[in-house]
């Protein structure tokens, strides 16, 4: 494992936080930020730059806290295969894109004990990650033993768990199971994360479409209609309201589901939601509806929504107004050859997932360029709020004395071309973002004080990342 020594000064940049921006220099000692200074400052009469082992010139650039992707699935078994990114390849790709922390999902499969599933994910990740990481816990078999195990999750640094209203026979929990888990959540403070789609109804529609010979990837989106996302979101909110449990709805794609979240928040409920880059930019018509089997590249759940119905614009609006609180990726990549093509002739067998962990900061920054969100909101959505939501704030998600030196120097005058053979370090044979052009560039990435990306050079190493035990959400009232 690489050592981290010495003192670094990031000089001449604009430090951007969730609340503002200022010209400032950032002094790092070892793994920690020790000072945020007025440009050219001295400390006790000493020239700060002269005392630094390394000076990074950030003139004309933004200095922001490292990105936190709060929803990834490295090495996730799904549909007879597994996500193509390992913790090694996935976290390296994340680093290239300015993400310095991921929170992945440990999986308890049906018939397995919760802590055995968590131990398996620790084994997958330990010694392999290029950046720091934490875990949420998927509870795929919610029984009496699982409920008892939830009492010990906080002791393991896991302060959130995920349930599924979708995928009957795999991860699905019925309303009675969800109710019991939320009762436990209300007592412990654990955040309930919910995949909100009506799985049994989806299965009926899938069967009917296949029987009609409608087998192309496009019909994945038709089977998972927005009504089934809205209904499940509303049901999850009502169960959370009844029990007093905090609720976080993952990968929100339908504007009607956002409306349900917004209504609950207007009543003062601890209800939160995330969306993902694919729902902001991609669509049912243009992507899932691509000719032949090409649409399989963009099969994910919840699915891409119709641009004609205005979901994308409504989601951007919801990010501006804080009806949605953050943007994660739901990074779960699969190759076209040997994985996605398992669903040739049957869209229901296409592994669900898109690879985006490398591109989240860039894609959201393009929203700044286009006037969809502010520079400060960009930082809030991609770093500060994830840290606060999932018990990492103070050491992560902020540039201030005492915080981990996870810092990105971002060049607004730079340019990023996304695609295979360009900026693409994920372990995939295609890019869901092929051809996207970004008016900005990740120039330098520091993880706990170590420069891991410097221009076009990768300086990180397998095993640099550490496990992050997390506390309770700072958003609970």
Tens of pLDDT, residue by residue over 440-461, are 999 999 999 999 999 999 999 9
Tell me what pLDDT residue 376 has: 98
Structure tokens given for 450: 């170590």
152-156 contact pairs (CB < 8 A, 24+): 152/115, 153/114, 153/188, 153/190, 154/188, 154/189, 154/190, 154/472, 156/115, 156/118, 156/469
Structure-token pair, residue 413:
């005058």
Tokens 């099969």 correspond to: 299
Confirm if 12 and 63 have CB atoms less than 8 A apart. Answer: no
Residues in the chain: 477
Question: What pLDDT score was predicted for residue 45?
Answer: 58
pTM given for the model: 0.96
Dihedral sign, CA of 115, 119, 120, 122?
A: positive
pLDDT at residue 420, as a whole number? 85
| Two tokens, residue 324 | 């949605």
Q: What is the pLDDT of residue 3?
A: 44
Please give, one letter per residue, the 3-state secondary structure of the chain: CCCCCCEEEEEEEEEECCCCEEEEEEEEECCEEEEEECCCCEECCEEHHHHCCEEEECCCCEEEECEEEEEECCCCEECCEECCCCHHHHHHHHHHCCEEEEEEEEEECCCCCHHHHHHHHHHHHCCCCCCEEEEEEEECCCCHHHHHHHHHCHHHCCCEEEEECCCCCCCECCHHHHHHHHHHHHHHCCEEEEECCCHHHHHHHHHHHHHCCCCCCHHHHHHCCHHHHHHHHHHHHHHHHHHCCCEEECCCCCHHHHHHHHHHHHCCCCEEEEECHHHHHCCHHHHHCCCCCHHHHHCCCCCCCCCCCCHHHHHHHHHHHCCCCEECCCECCCCCCCCHHHHCCCHHHCCCCECCCCCHHHHHHHHHHCCCCCHHHHHHHHHHHHHHHCCCECCECCCCCCCECCEEEEECCCCEEECCCCECCCCCCCCCCCCCEECCEEEEEEECCEEEEECCEECCCCCCCCECCCCCCCCCC
Domains of the chain: 7-64+398-458 (2.30.40.10), 66-389 (3.20.20.140)
Residue indicated by tokens 């992945």: 104
| Cα distances (angstroms) measured from residue 467 to each of 102, 122, 139 | 10, 9, 20
Write out the chain's pLDDT in tens, 477 residues.
344 458 999 999 999 999 999 999 999 999 999 999 999 776 655 678 888 899 999 999 999 999 999 999 999 998 889 999 999 999 999 999 999 999 999 999 889 999 999 999 999 999 999 999 999 999 999 999 999 999 999 999 999 999 999 999 899 999 999 999 999 999 999 999 999 999 999 999 999 999 999 999 999 999 999 999 999 999 999 999 999 999 999 999 999 999 999 999 999 999 999 999 999 999 999 999 999 999 999 999 999 999 999 999 999 999 999 999 999 999 999 999 999 999 999 999 999 999 999 999 999 999 999 999 999 999 999 999 999 999 999 999 999 999 999 999 999 999 999 998 888 999 999 999 999 999 999 999 999 999 999 999 999 999 999 999 999 999 875
pLDDT in the model for residue 44: 56
Q: Record the tokens describing residue 411, joined without a space.
A: 């060049």
Alpha-carbon gap, residue 326 to 386, rounded angstroms = 7
**By the 8 A CB rule, do 61 and 443 touch?**
yes
Helix H, strand E, coil C: the string for 153-173 is: CHHHCCCEEEEECCCCCCCEC
């Amino acid at each position: 494992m690489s050592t981290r020594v010495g003192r670094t000064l990031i000089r001449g940049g604009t430090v951007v936080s969730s609340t503002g921006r200022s010209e400032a220099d950032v002094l790092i000692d070892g793994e920690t930020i020790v000072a945020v200074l007025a440009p050219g400052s001295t400390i006790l009469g000493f020239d700060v730059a002269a005392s630094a082992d390394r000076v990074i010139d950030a003139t004309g650039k933004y200095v922001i806290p490292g990105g936190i992707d709060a929803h990834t699935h490295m090495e996730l078994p799904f549909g007879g295969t597994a996500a193509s990114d390992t913790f090694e390849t996935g976290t390296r790709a994340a680093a290239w894109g300015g993400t310095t922390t991921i929170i992945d999902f440990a999986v308890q499969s049906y018939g397995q004990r919760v802590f055995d599933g968590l131990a398996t994910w620790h084994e997958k990740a330990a010694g392999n990650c290029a950046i720091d990481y934490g875990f949420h816990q998927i509870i795929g078999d919610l029984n009496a033993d699982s409920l008892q195990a939830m009492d010990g999750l906080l002791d393991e640094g896991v302060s959130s768990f995920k349930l599924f209203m979708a995928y009957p026979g795999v991860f699905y929990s019925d309303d009675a199971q969800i109710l019991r888990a939320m009762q436990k959540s209300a007592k412990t403070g654990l955040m309930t994360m919910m995949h909100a789609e009506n799985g049994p109804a989806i299965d009926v529609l899938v069967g009917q479409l296949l029987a009609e010979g409608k087998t192309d990837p496009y019909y994945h989106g038709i089977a998972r209609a927005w009504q089934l996302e809205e209904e499940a979101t509303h049901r999850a909110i009502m169960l959370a309201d009844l029990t007093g449990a905090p609720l976080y709805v993952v990968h929100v794609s339908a504007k009607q589901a956002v409306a349900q979240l917004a209504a609950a928040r207007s009543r003062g409920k601890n209800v939160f939601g995330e969306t993902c880059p694919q729902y902001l930019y991609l669509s049912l018509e243009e992507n899932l509806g691509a000719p032949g089997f090409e649409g399989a590249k963009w099969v994910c759940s919840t699915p891409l929504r119709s641009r004609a119905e205005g979901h994308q614009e409504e989601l951007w609006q919801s990010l501006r107004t804080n009806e949605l609180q953050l943007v994660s990726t739901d990074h779960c990549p699969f190759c076209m050859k040997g994985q996605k093509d398992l669903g040739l002739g049957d869209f229901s067998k296409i592994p669900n997932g898109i690879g985006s962990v490398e591109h989240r900061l860039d894609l959201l920054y393009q929203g700044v360029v286009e006037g969809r969100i502010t520079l400060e909101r960009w930082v809030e959505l991609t770093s500060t709020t994830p840290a606060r939501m999932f018990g990492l704030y103070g050491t992560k998600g902020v540039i201030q004395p005492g915080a981990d030196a996870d810092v990105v120097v971002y060049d607004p005058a730079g340019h990023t071309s996304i695609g295979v053979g360009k900026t693409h370090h994920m372990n995939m044979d295609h890019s869901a973002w092929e051809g996207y052009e970004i008016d900005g560039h990740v120039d330098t990435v520091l993880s706990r004080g170590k420069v891991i990306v410097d221009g076009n050079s990768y300086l990180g190493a397998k095993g640099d990342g550490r496990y992050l035990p997390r506390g309770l959400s700072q958003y609970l009232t």
